Amino acid sequence: MRILISGTPGVGKTEISKILSLKFNFLYFSVSKFILENKLYTSYDSKRETYNIDDSVIQKINDQINKMDNVIIETIYPSLVDNADKIIVLRKNPFVLYKDLKDRNWGDLKIAENVEAEILGVIAQEAREWFKNICEIDVTNKSREEVVKNIIDNRCDNVDWLSDDRIQDLLIELDKIISLYENK
């Protein structure tokens, strides 16, 4: 059994993945950690405070995953994983996510791009295109135990942040931040 846990940074992927791993006595595999430990990145983008990768890492990631039977796979990018039995995309209210990323002392551009990705459902859409059947779970104001129970019980949420006018206003503000950095 392979369970893929995905979502934008700050939604709780690592914590939920580790809890599930312990609960089911499954292995835990972090795609990001694997990439960093094996220096599989191509460069570091200091403006965005992130490592860049190319498609050459996909085979190495999947070769590693294929050595494992029962595993919780944590990744931002679901399309890096060839197959999984259950695909979970964790979502978080963009206002809460913005505050959480600010509390991590992330740079403005990194926060803006990640919150924008959450608003637009970029990770969920990627997962849907790659795997078809996914389960989105809104983790906002839920305990870790509630999130884990929702995963186990296949209780999925229909997440649409854009239906909230306040979030549309936030998206406009985020676009302004991103534009400032892109025009530098």
> 21 falls in which pLDDT band (50, 70, 90)?
very high
Task: Establish whether 14 is an annotated binding residue.
Answer: yes
Q: What is the CATH number of the domain that holds 37?
A: 3.40.50.300
pLDDT at residue 183 greater than cutoff 80 = no
Q: What average pLDDT does this structure show over 17-35? A: 97
Q: What is the mean pLDDT of residues 62-77?
A: 96
Dihedral sign for Cα 97, 159, 29, 80, please.
negative
Task: Name the residue type at position 26.
Answer: F
pTM (2 d.p.): 0.93
Confidence of residue 43 (pLDDT cuts 50, 70, 90): confident
Containing structural domain, residue 171: 2-182
pLDDT at res. 184: 67
Residue 7 among known ligand-binding residues: no
Cβ neighbourhood burial of 14 (10 Å; 0-12, 13-18, 19+)? middle
Report whether 110 belongs to an annotated binding site.
no
184 annotated to bind ligand: no
Write down the pLDDT at residue 56. 87
Mean of pLDDT over the chain: 94
Q: Is 10 annotated as a binding residue?
A: yes
Q: Parallel, antiparallel, or unpaired: how do β-strands 2-6 and 27-30 relate?
A: unpaired
Rounded mean pLDDT of 151-168? 94
| Residue pair 5/72 in contact by the 8 Å Cβ criterion | yes
107 annotated to bind ligand: no
Which secondary-structure segment (H or E) carries 117?
A: helix 108-120
> What is the band of 103 on the pLDDT scale with cuts at 50, 70, 90?
very high
**What is the tally of structural domains in the chain?**
1
CA distances for 170 relative to 37, 100, 130, 173, 183, angstroms? 36, 15, 29, 5, 20
Task: Tell me how far apart the alpha carbons of residues 1 and 116 are, in angstroms, rounded to a whole number.
Answer: 32
